Amino acid sequence: MTEPKTEHKAEQTSNSKPNREFDIIARYFRPLTNGAAGALALQDDAALLSVPDGFELAVTTDCLVGGVHFLETLSPQDIAHKVVGVNLSDLAAMGAMPKVVFLAAQLPKGIQESWIADFAEGLRAALKPSGAALMGGDTVSTPGPVAFTLTAMGHVPKGHALMRSGAQPGDVLCVTGTIGDGALGLAVLTDALSIADSAERDHLIQRYARPQPRWKLAEMMVRTRQIRAAVDISDGLLADVGHICMASGVAAVIDAPAVPLSKAVRGVLAQDPTVLNTILGGGDDYELAFCAPQNAIADLQRLANELGECITVIGRIVASDLENTAPVTVHDKAGRPIIVESQGYQHL
């Protein structure tokens, strides 16, 4: 998201008209640099970054396409929160503190400047809690749909990043927050689910539209050195726990009654038990699933409480021959295996 390239500048000179791209960048996106020196006021071809001694740089990139990864009927502010939240959740899964982001925006021809202004305001609000600065990117026109690619970078203490590959048999499996809100929020927005209570309906929609990445809790948990493996829950609880299992060469048992649910989700589940498939497999939660020794849980829960967060033990890690055993099994309250049809979002 730098000044237009040379050919664009030449066109500006010959026509004696202001370049709309440059004007939009200067007006709406340059303020999001927070004055970071390395951003160079978004006027150069690249940004300049440094990493403090004792830290590593965690980097993640996600592409979100309208109509595929988010509903185009969402407000520009909601879309901005979604774009930021998805990426910062990946940093949280690594235990990294967000520092900078780079945004490539593909905007349909003729998009209203008011839409761009609202999107930029949403970016500002979404980045503010972490203090992460916009350091650059690109803007291009497209015949549609609207799409965004965000690269997020964060600092994590050297050698202590959380990864998926450290789970061990005997560990307990935990999640942050509540599960299923995002998937049911999407169902509400697409009229696949009707909820009479307006407060509960709004809760689910908000959880889908504006994910709250748990980077602050993850950063604190890294300091304890007690988390063995972690992943963010984007594709669905079962799919993402399965990613830990595959990377670690283990299996997981999830106790369905232990999975934390919001009041809204509990109400839907009470009316239709088959919704459990969507809750466990639907995705869009952007909570964290992680593994730790049993004797670490009390300390981790105290830490979460201090931050106003919650941690729930939902199962355990067991030894497994992954060639012959499903990586994740779900048990009912009697300890009997149950079949969950939805296994998570498929990217391709």
Residues 190 and 333 in one domain: yes
User: What is the pLDDT, as a whole number, of residue 323?
Assistant: 63
Residues 215 and 275 in one domain: yes
Cite the DSSP H helix spans in 128-163.
Answer: none
Q: Encode pLDDT of 255-312 as tens digits.
A: 999 999 999 999 999 999 999 999 999 999 999 999 999 999 999 999 999 999 999 9
167 in any annotated domain: no
| Distance (Å, whole) CA 161 – CA 231 | 12
The sign of the CA dihedral 217, 222, 224, 227 is positive
| Distance (Å, whole) CA 62 – CA 75 | 20
Residues 153 and 252 in one domain: no
Residues 100 and 198 in one domain: no
Confidence of residue 178 (pLDDT cuts 50, 70, 90): very high
Q: With 60 as the cut, is the pLDDT of residue 8 above it?
A: no
Residues 82 and 211 in one domain: no
Residues 148 and 184 in one domain: no
User: What is the pLDDT, as a whole number, of residue 14?
Assistant: 35
Is the pTM here over 0.85, yes or no? Answer: yes
Residues 114 and 180 in one domain: no
115 in any annotated domain: yes
Please tell me which residue, 149 or 109, carries the higher pLDDT value. Answer: 149
Confidence of residue 348 (pLDDT cuts 50, 70, 90): very low
105 in any annotated domain: yes
152 in any annotated domain: yes
270 in any annotated domain: yes
User: What is the pLDDT, as a whole number, of residue 33?
Assistant: 82
| Distance (Å, whole) CA 103 – CA 95 | 22
Which of 134, 157, 180 is where one domain is finished? 157
Residues 211 and 184 in one domain: yes
Residues 298 and 183 in one domain: yes
User: What is the pLDDT, as a whole number, of residue 307?
Assistant: 94
Q: With 80 as the cut, is the pLDDT of residue 123 above it?
A: yes
Other Cβ atoms within 10 Å of 334 Cβ, number: 7
1 in any annotated domain: no
Q: Encode pLDDT of 36-77 as tens digits.
A: 877 767 776 788 888 999 999 999 999 999 998 999 999 999
Parent domain of 102:
6-157
Domain of residue 328, CATH code:
3.90.650.10
Which of 109, 128, 157 is where one domain is finished? 157
| Distance (Å, whole) CA 223 – CA 161 | 10
User: What is the pLDDT, as a whole number, of residue 27?
Assistant: 79
Confidence of residue 2 (pLDDT cuts 50, 70, 90): low
Domain of residue 70, CATH code:
3.30.1330.10
Confidence of residue 339 (pLDDT cuts 50, 70, 90): confident
Residues 6+ apart with CB under 8 A from 252: 167, 173, 241, 242, 244, 245, 315, 316, 317, 318, 327, 328, 329
Confidence of residue 331 (pLDDT cuts 50, 70, 90): very high
Residues 230 and 332 in one domain: yes
Burial of 226 (0-12, 13-18, 19+ CB in 10 A): middle
164 in any annotated domain: no
Residue type, 174: C
What Cα–Cα distance (Å) separates residue 86 from each residue in 35, 112, 167, 287, 348? 24, 25, 24, 10, 18
300 in any annotated domain: yes
What Cα–Cα distance (Å) separates residue 294 from each residue in 238, 291, 307, 316, 344? 21, 9, 21, 9, 27
Residues 130 and 188 in one domain: no
The angle subtended at Cα 213 by Cα 208 and Cα 218, nearest 5°, is 150
User: What is the pLDDT, as a whole number, of residue 343?
Assistant: 59
| Distance (Å, whole) CA 129 – CA 127 | 6
| Distance (Å, whole) CA 332 – CA 53 | 48
Which of 157, 181, 196 is where one domain is finished? 157
User: What is the pLDDT, as a whole number, of residue 31?
Assistant: 76
Instruction: Report the domain count for the chain.
Output: 2
User: What is the pLDDT, as a whole number, of residue 342?
Assistant: 63
| 205-228 average pLDDT score | 94
Residues 200 and 107 in one domain: no
Q: With 70 as the cut, is the pLDDT of residue 5 above it?
A: no
Which residue, chain included where needed, has tokens 């910062």? 88
